[in-house]
Amino acid sequence: MEDAARRQPSGRAHSGGRVLCVAPMMERTDRHCRYFLRLLAPHARLYTEMVTAQAVLRGDRRRLLAFHPAEHPVALQLGGSKPAELAAAARAGEAEGYDEINLNVGCPSDRVQAGCFGAALMLEPQRVADCVAAMRAAVRVPVTVKTRLGVDDRDSYEYLAAFVAGLAAAGCRTVIVHARKAWLKGLSPKENREIPPLDYARVHRLKRDFPELEVIINGGLRDAASAAAQLAHVDGVMLGRAAYDDPWLMRELDERLFGACPECAASGRSRPAMRARAAEAYLAYVADELAAGTPLKAMTRHVMGLYAGRPGARRWRRALGALPPGEQGLHALRQLIASFARDEHGCAAAAA
């Protein structure tokens, strides 16, 4: 096919593993969110919230690294700046079953900067290379890096290319690039996601200059058409807030990029045809987690955007926000989903 969604970049076939990704997002991509997104996008690669290496080594490892088997392929994103700590945390992630270990070199928050990691690490290319080399030596799964175009006044293409060359020399084969620079002072994390201008062309150039690397583009991709068009230039796309605010977008992209999925259907992982069907599939997971002691709202908060841009979206959000806790809330959730399923069936019948 000749459309952008089907063309391969640089004359090279996609590896298939990271064509479609969901970005690591603090306070969003926890294990419940990832499970729900997996229902919508069987082919997507999912990323955890950033977990610091120190937390992995000193905290409740099982709780921090827990995930459902259905999430595969799933990557653990680590934050840190000490090679030995990151190597040990990477080993722990591999032992728990993660398919990839990703190093955060893009988060611009003050708290992350205070720990001397995240986007601030772009100012220390050799330290990042040392961290990647140590992690690569510690695990068999891929070690990848998520970065920005640059930070503060270190934002030339030449600086980015030299930074990426250092990663490649250290053994990194996949670079995920948020197509904005970061300002370490003066902008909040939210502003750093919106104010620095996007520069997709610079990421495209990076792919041309490093054809041996897998280059994934991130930042500002908010609809299926613009995301798919990027695949004419890079190896994969990563969506963040758009995937969270409108999760059905992931279903649309998965279908657009991968077409019919008979093997998924055979394994029970086919994409739901209706939003209510996705909610019904998630309901079984919610019931199991509720029985294990997980608060209901910890799970329902991730499906607030399921009807984004559709009739009934406001009613859906309000009803979810008003659910009582425990089994009573679970019963009310079942009734709510059944109501929306009837509405969707009616709309589908009318359209036919």
Chain centroid offset of residue 122 CA? 21
Look at the chain and count its residues.
352
Cβ proximity of 290 and 330 under 8 Å: yes
**Helix (H/G/I), strand (E/B), else coil: 105:** strand
Q: Is the link from the previous residue into 324 a cis peptide, with omega within 30 of 0? A: no
Measured CA to CA, the distance from residue 199 to residue 195 in angstroms comes to: 12
* Catalytic member of 21, 33, 107, 131: 107
End-to-end CA distance of the chain: 29
Question: Does residue 107 carry a catalytic annotation?
Answer: yes
* Half-sphere exposure for 320 (CA within 13 Å, toward CB): 22
Measured CA to CA, the distance from residue 219 to residue 199 in angstroms comes to: 9
The torsion angles phi and psi of 176, rounded to 5 degrees, stand at: -105, 120
Residue 190: how many CB atoms within 10 A of its CB?
A: 10
Which amino acids are annotated catalytic? 107
